[in-house]
Structure 1
Amino acid sequence: MLKIKVSQTLPNPLQINIECAPGQLHALVGPSGSGKTSVLRTIAGLSNASLGKIECDNQIWFEANDLQGTATSLSPAERSCGFLFQQYALFPHLTALENICIPLQNSGHELAMRQTIATDWLNHMGIAELAQRMPHQLSGGQQQRVALARALVKKPNALLLDEPFSAIDAPTRQSLYKILAELRKDLNIPILLVTHDLREADLLADHITVIDQGIGLQTAAPQVLFQKPRNSRVAELVGINNMFEGVFKAGKLSWNNSSHVFEVLDKGKIPPDTPVAWVVPADGLTLHHSQVAGSIQAMVQQISTLGQIAVVQLLTNDGGHKITWEASAAELKRLELEVGKNTHVEIDGNKIHIMPLRPINDPRRFTS
């Protein structure tokens, strides 16, 4: 188990509380400069937090508090973690095999044994025939496999991945996803992945932590995160399209600038007459040819098609709210949707998720 609970003060604030079990992959997402890579560097010992604790496999790597200061801080070499950098960081004057051998230099093994171990990892990555090639003779995907083998050759207790797939093409990325999935089963160690790609995080991760300005805003399974963001800032950062504002009171949700009121389950967590943000997932939206009970009239503003998928932008006649709806091309045809034409949108109140409305400069958005 990898446990990280650290706090760093200005000028580079960092407040993170994460646990990642062996065999799990935990993704860190957030805008550029949000502190995602800083979390990995802090875990690896390349930088230190002011306060907190980092523990892996029952070994304390870092611990500091207000009373005693820094009690424990293992060097990067003493922390059993593999680190895969975004730019691979291969030594340009060494072959693929020699690059993988580097972490084994102080292992106590003879050269022949080090080379055997490195060759096994080349085989594991499916690139044994590239052992004697220099980095400049390798493609981006091949370099990434060499770098991943180097990160794992000492059998670390945790693996840290800093946007490892961002610089490679889609087919190569898919093959590396497969390798990563196999490694999760074989190695059974915690894996932390920094990525800017939400689809990638959704595909690979067991849990996702959203980071903004160095603060962990929410940690959840992908499905929970995308359907029930903790607050409006999280919803914004994970790219939820249909986010609106209103006022909630006793199970009734009004919609700003609209006469429409939704019946929503009151869980007793939000005080009456509280301004809120609210989102509705794709399966909470239904379009109809004609008016049905509770539906809202809207005009089709734009239709974008990609193969058999269509994205429709709607503008409600009451309130001028923009709604994004995704459907198959067949559904588009069935509803006879055209730009400039009116349709009727039904929003399922049971699918609406209400959350605190926090402006970006309100520090309370980090905890509410």
Structure 2
Amino acid sequence: MLKIKLSQTTPNPLQLKLECIPGELHALVGPSGSGKTTALRTIAGLNNASSGKIECDGELWFEANEINGTTTALSPAQRSCGFLFQQYALFPHLNAIENVCIPLYNSINSLAERRVLAQQWLDRMGIGELANRMPNQLSGGQQQRVALARALARSPKILLLDEPFSAIDAPTRQSLYKTLANLRKDLNIPILLVTHDLREADLLADRITVIDQGVGLQTAPPQVLFERPRNSRVAELVGINNMFEGVFSAGKLSWNGSTQVFDVIDKGKIPPNTPVAWVIPAEGLSLHAQVTAQSIEVIVDQISALGQIAVIQLRTTEGSHTIIWEASAAEVKRLSLELGSRSYVEMDASQIHIMPLRPINDPRRFTN
């Protein structure tokens, strides 16, 4: 198991706590400059935090505090990390098998044995026949497979992936996803993936940690994260469309700028008359051609067709709130939706999730 608790203020702020068990893929997501790569480099020993602790498989890799300073800091070579970079980082003067042999020099003296093991890893990556090719003779996907073979060649205790698929075309990326999924079953080690692509994190990760300005805001399985973000900043960072503001008090949620009031389960965590942010998933919305007892009148502001799916932008006649709704082409036709037309949306209050409303400069958004 990998256990991390890090804190530093300069030069790159970082406040992060997470655990990753063997066989788990844990994704770190957040905007550019949020500290994702800094976290990986600190785990690998390329950076050191001002305080905190890093443990892997029961071994202490790093420990420091404000009183005693750094008391333990294994070098990158002493930490059993496999590190896969975005830009492959292959040695251009070495062929594929020679690149994979590099991390084996300190553990295997025999050149023949190193080459046998390196060839086995290239075979597992499905590129065994390319062993003697130079990096400039390989496609981007093939280079990344060589880099992954090299990262795994010395049987690391953890695998760190720093946006490894971002420079690769979509078909190759899908193929590498399958390779990684198959490897996970056999490796049984913690895997940390840094990515800016939420769809990628949702597809691959068992859990996701959202990082903003160097601070871990929330760790949760993908479904929980997208349906029940911890606060409004998390909701913003994971791209939730339908987020609104209101006031919550004793199970009643009022909607700012509207007379609409929803009955929402009160879990006792939010004081009465507290301004909140709230979200509702797509499954909690339904659109109707005729008015119903619980419906809200909306006007169609925009229709964006994406193949057989249309993204509909609706505007409430009361409060001018924007609601995003996705529908099939058949549904658009059934409801006779067109620009400027009126329709009626119902919201399932049981699927509404309320959370603290925190401005970006409010440090309480990190924990509440």
Query: Normalising by the residue count of structure 2, what TM-score does the alignment of the two structures yield?
Result: 0.99
| Cα offset, 1:330, TM superposition | 1.6
CA distance in structure 2 between the partners assigned to 1:104 and 1:137 by the alignment: 24
2:44 paired with 1:41: no
CA distance in structure 2 between the partners assigned to 1:339 and 1:250 by the alignment: 39
CA distance in structure 1 between the partners assigned to 2:317 and 2:223 by the alignment: 31
CA distance in structure 1 between the partners assigned to 2:74 and 2:265 by the alignment: 50
The residue that corresponds to 1:299 in the other structure is 299
CA distance in structure 1 between the partners assigned to 2:152 and 2:108 by the alignment: 17
SS of residue paired to 1:272: coil
The residue that corresponds to 1:364 in the other structure is 364
Question: Do 2:12 and 2:38's aligned partners in 1 also have CA atoms closer than 8 Å?
Answer: no
2:249 paired with 1:226: no
SS of residue paired to 1:77: coil
The residue that corresponds to 2:141 in the other structure is 141
SS of residue paired to 1:254: strand
The residue that corresponds to 1:26 in the other structure is 26
The residue that corresponds to 1:6 in the other structure is 6
The residue that corresponds to 1:323 in the other structure is 323
| Cα offset, 1:12, TM superposition | 1.8
SS of residue paired to 1:365: helix
The residue that corresponds to 2:117 in the other structure is 117
Query: Normalising by the residue count of structure 1, what TM-score does the alignment of the two structures yield?
Result: 0.99
CA distance in structure 2 between the partners assigned to 1:9 and 1:169 by the alignment: 37
Please give the per-residue CA displacement for 1:14-43, whole angstroms capped at 9, x wherever unaligned: 010010000000000000000000000000
The residue that corresponds to 2:256 in the other structure is 256
Aligned residue pair count? 368
| Cα offset, 1:332, TM superposition | 1.5
SS of residue paired to 2:330: helix
The residue that corresponds to 1:194 in the other structure is 194
CA distance in structure 2 between the partners assigned to 1:108 and 1:324 by the alignment: 58
CA distance in structure 2 between the partners assigned to 1:164 and 1:108 by the alignment: 28
The residue that corresponds to 1:86 in the other structure is 86
| Cα offset, 1:245, TM superposition | 0.4
SS of residue paired to 1:286: strand
The residue that corresponds to 2:184 in the other structure is 184
| Cα offset, 1:367, TM superposition | 1.0
SS of residue paired to 1:270: coil
CA distance in structure 2 between the partners assigned to 1:93 and 1:274 by the alignment: 63
CA distance in structure 1 between the partners assigned to 2:153 and 2:293 by the alignment: 63
Q: Which amino acid aligns with 2:296?
A: I
2:205 paired with 1:205: yes
Please give the per-residue CA displacement for 1:100-123, whole angstroms capped at 9, x wherever unaligned: 000011113300010000000110
Question: Do 2:7 and 2:52's aligned partners in 1 also have CA atoms closer than 8 Å?
Answer: yes
> Which stretch of structure 1 is more off in the superposition, 301-310 or 174-183?
301-310
| Cα offset, 1:64, TM superposition | 1.2
The residue that corresponds to 2:270 in the other structure is 270
Q: Which amino acid aligns with 1:25?
A: L
CA distance in structure 1 between the partners assigned to 2:109 and 2:290 by the alignment: 76
| Structure 1: runs of 5 or more not aligned | none
CA distance in structure 1 between the partners assigned to 2:212 and 2:201 by the alignment: 16
| Cα offset, 1:147, TM superposition | 0.3
CA distance in structure 2 between the partners assigned to 1:13 and 1:171 by the alignment: 36
SS of residue paired to 1:63: strand
Please give the per-residue CA displacement for 1:252-309, whole angstroms capped at 9, x wherever unaligned: 1111111111111111110111100000000000101111111100001111111211
Q: Which amino acid aligns with 2:165?
A: F
| Cα offset, 1:11, TM superposition | 3.5
SS of residue paired to 1:5: strand
CA distance in structure 1 between the partners assigned to 2:298 and 2:207 by the alignment: 36
Q: Which amino acid aligns with 1:164?
A: P
The residue that corresponds to 1:346 in the other structure is 346
The residue that corresponds to 2:173 in the other structure is 173
CA distance in structure 2 between the partners assigned to 1:110 and 1:199 by the alignment: 44
SS of residue paired to 1:337: coil
Identity of aligned residues (%): 76
CA distance in structure 2 between the partners assigned to 1:268 and 1:176 by the alignment: 45
| Cα offset, 1:9, TM superposition | 1.6
